Amino acid sequence: MKMKIIVTGGAGFIGSHVSEYYARRGHEVKVIDNLSRSKIFNLNKKISMYNWKYLKDNYDNITLIRGDIRDYKFLEKHSKDADIIIHTAAQTAVTTSITDPRTDFETNTLGTFNVLEAAKRAKNKPVIIFCSTNKVYGNNVNKIPVEEGELRYKFSEKKFQKGIPESFPVDLCEHTPYGASKLAADIYVQDYAERNEIDAAVFRMSCVYGTRQFGVEDQGWVSWFTIATLSGKPLTIYGNGKQVRDVLFITDLVEVFDAFIEKRDKLHFGVYNMGGGTKNTLSLLELLDLIKRETGKIPKIRYDNWRPSDQKIYISDISKATNHLNWTPKTSPEEGIKKLIEWIKEKNILKYFDLK
């Protein structure tokens, strides 16, 4: 059945892949984006337009609409006949949230509230996919004892061998404004779903990476490390580089979104920690080794102080998503990094960055 799908932030990294996935399957996709990324991160303006142009040039069944999720009337107008709303639009940088917490709150919390209200009033009761974050657990993750190895940290306690579960506490810790705004939005989505106002899935994402990701120092570290290494730009590592994340290639993320949508009539609502899980983890130092093996390049590195609430280890326990949605990641870090490097080289992505 042909569906009408809205993707907020659809010109961004995750949003553009979601839009492409459903457009390829013949659905009618409406992309909403304010094209603010280059301004927020002080980047070449063409970066904000890259995925927008890519979608426009390749898909006749994608409608591109420039607009802001903070504008409720605008959002309500365009959501009236939606069957699915995939909400990827957000302020995504922790450091930016500290310097400009108001914009962070208005985008992440108020923007999500607007999406929920628009969905509630839409005639088809659209299912909502919400992109949350592992930062909802805040500094509580750093209270778990860790052991330090040569290239990475690891959890000391056996009960976290599978990673962080959805039941992990969110209270009584620092979150940063970004973590707080996303947690507030996360809880709003849960509340609307629990009261049967909407059907929804909350995906608390770890590190998602892949093609068409324009990583910067403040956000998208896998892509940024790769871009900086290929360009010969010096890299700053905050902390000692032994921080560990589970990494998930973008196509695997889109497939788990779709897995929930396919099961919405049975599940109605779910909260899922989402990442590569224990089989797909990298420390910062291990990523640099992997890039070196693929490219032969070694960046110049300087070290600086740890950033606020940076988690020494975050690994998602993805067993709930696996059990509920019959899903597991398919792309290994080695395969994913190779695809990312090939895209950067093939599309000459370095030209979009001031890498002097």
Q: What is the pLDDT of residue 354?
A: 67
Provide the annotated active-site residues.
178
pLDDT for 356 equals 43
- The total domain count for the chain is 1
Output the average pLDDT for the chain. 95
Contacts of 264 (CB under 8 A, 6+ apart): 127, 199
Q: What CA–CA distance (Å, rounded) separates 312 from 324?
A: 29
64 - beta bridge partners?
31
Domain range enclosing 272:
4-352
In the block, tokens 């609307």 appear at: 192
CATH of the domain at 246: 3.40.50.720
The amino acid occupying position 21 is Y
The reply to whether the predicted model has a pTM over 0.75 is: yes
Query: What confidence score (pLDDT) does residue 13 get?
Result: 97
Over residues 20-59, the pLDDT tens digits come to: 999 999 999 999 999 988 776 667 788 889 999 999 999 9
Distance (Å, whole) CA 140 – CA 143:
5
pLDDT at site 309: 77
Query: How many Å separate Cα 311 from the centre of its chain?
Result: 16
The residues of the chain scoring below 70 in pLDDT are 40-42, 354-356
175, 139 contact by CB (below 8 A): yes
